[in-house]
């Protein structure tokens, strides 16, 4: 499994982890949502689950559950600021389409 985190995303994740030192890492995965099928999940994880895979990406402990592995393999996670808005942005080679608002994606 390969996931890339840009320097901006890495810095943001490190800030989250520094504020919650008891966190096991950053959870990255997908859930069924939106009009296209899947939405991304980025959150702090309290602990590793039995089906989780822990990957150290540029010093950031990234936790991915088994159901999400194939859907996020190859994804580049970025963090962008536009005016007052800031968010993680995902470049996923597995996504074959997105909804109009960009909140969810489909896979082929």
The parent domain of residue 79 ranges over 4-96
What is the predicted pLDDT for the residue at 35? 65
What is the predicted pLDDT for the residue at 37? 80
What is the predicted pLDDT for the residue at 39? 86
Whether residue 64 is contained in a domain is answered as yes
What pTM did the predictor assign?
Answer: 0.85
- List per-residue pLDDT tens for the chain, 108 residues long: 799 999 999 999 999 999 999 999 999 999 887 666 888 899 999 999 999 999 999 899 999 999 999 899 999 999 999 888 998 989 888 877 665 555 555 666
- Strand segments, DSSP code E, in 11-94 are 25-33, 37-45, 52-57, 60-65, 76-82, 85-91
Site of tokens 């994804």: 75
Number of folded domains in the chain? 1
Whether residue 105 is contained in a domain is answered as no
Whether residue 66 is contained in a domain is answered as yes
Question: Which CATH number do you get for residue 61?
Answer: 2.60.300.12
Strand, helix or coil for residue 16: helix
Whether residue 104 is contained in a domain is answered as no
What is the predicted pLDDT for the residue at 93? 87
Whether residue 108 is contained in a domain is answered as no
Whether residue 107 is contained in a domain is answered as no
Whether residue 101 is contained in a domain is answered as no
Strand, helix or coil for residue 13: helix
Helix, strand, coil % over all residues of the chain, rounded to 5: 15, 50, 35
Q: Pairing between strand 105-107 and 52-57?
A: unpaired
C-alpha to C-alpha distance for 11 and 21, rounded to whole angstroms: 15
Whether residue 37 is contained in a domain is answered as yes
């Amino acid at each position: 499994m390969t996931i890339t985190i840009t320097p901006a995303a890495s810095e943001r994740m490190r800030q989250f982890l520094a504020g919650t030192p008891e966190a096991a890492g950053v959870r990255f995965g997908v859930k069924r949502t939106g009009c296209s099928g899947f939405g991304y999940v980025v959150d702090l994880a309290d602990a590793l689950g039995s089906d989780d895979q822990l990957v150290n990406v540029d010093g950031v402990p990234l936790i991915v559950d088994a159901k999400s592995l194939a859907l996020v393999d190859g994804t580049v996670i970025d963090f962008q600021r536009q005016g007052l808005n800031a968010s993680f942005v995902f470049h996923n080679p597995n996504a074959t389409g997105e909804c109009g608002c960009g909140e969810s994606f489909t896979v082929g």
